[in-house]
Structures are given as C-alpha cells and as structure tokens.
Amino acid sequence: MNGKHELLFICTGNFYRSRFAEALFNDKAGKMGLSWSAFSRGLAIHLASGDISDLTVTALDERGISLAHTGPTRVALCEEELRRAKRIIALDRSDHRAMFEAQFPDWKERIEYWSCPDIDRESPERCLPQIETCVMDLLKSLA
C-alpha cells in the first residue's frame, strides 16, 4: 500500500460502525499527511444486509466525507487481513471479544478494543460521535 501502515477496524457486520471509522480515519489521515490507511472487516457479516448502513452514509455526508474512503461493500474478516494490519481495533469489547476469540483465538493479544456499542444498545446519535472522538484521538497519537 505505497509504504503506508494499515489499520484494521472490526465490527460485527462491517456495515455501520467499522465503515464509519474507516472512512473517517482515511479522510482525516490523508488530510494530515499520515503514512497510515484503514480498512474494515466484519466478524458476522451475515447479520447485516446491503452494502453500507444509511446511518453511516448520512453521518459521513454530514461531515463532508466521501464514500470513496471506505470499501464498496461488507467483507468478512480473514486471518490474512489480520497479518496485513499493523494495528487492529475492534469497535466494542462486549460485542466482539467472544466472537473474535472464537474465530481467531491466536490473535487475541493483538486486538485493541474500543467501547462503541452496536445500535441495539446505543443510539447512532451517541455512538457515531463516540467513534469520531476515538478516531480523532487515535490520529493525534499517530501524528
């Protein structure tokens, strides 16, 4: 990837939270001139339908961020992508730790967990700004 470090955002369906984090990170990292890029994957993409959540599309549009900063559709996580990433962030410990350990137990020590719950436990009005704060803090630490 042109000498860039890669960051992997993981959520359940690769539909809502991880796609928002990916697009936000890529937009801001590019503007900051950082040698990092993000991609996102899901642990259970069969639980979502469609390419990307309308909530994510709206939140990115409100921030002036192009959908070109995220992949075209949902993608399931595979071990090759875990090897590819320099940093790996799962969007919510309570949602993802058990799923991650069941699917990829050898990787459990490399995962960073945030606390950004899915829509069944946190409204988008609270969750997406929370992800945004986490991404901005991450970008500051990488700058």
pLDDT(54) > 80: yes
User: Within 13 A of 116's CA, how many CA atoms are on the CB side?
Assistant: 27
- Counting residues of the chain whose pLDDT is more than 90, the rounded percentage is 90
* pTM, entire model: 0.94
Q: Is 113 helix (H, G, I), strand (E, B) or coil?
A: strand
Task: List all residues 6 or more positions away from 98 whose beta carbon is below 8 Å from its beta carbon.
Answer: none
pLDDT(121) > 70: yes
pLDDT of residue 108: 82
pLDDT of residue 1: 46
User: Within 13 A of 139's CA, how many CA atoms are on the CB side?
Assistant: 22
Q: Which of 38-42, 85-89, 118-122 has the lowest mean pLDDT?
A: 118-122
List, in order of start, the domains of the chain with CATH numbers.
5-142 (3.40.50.2300)
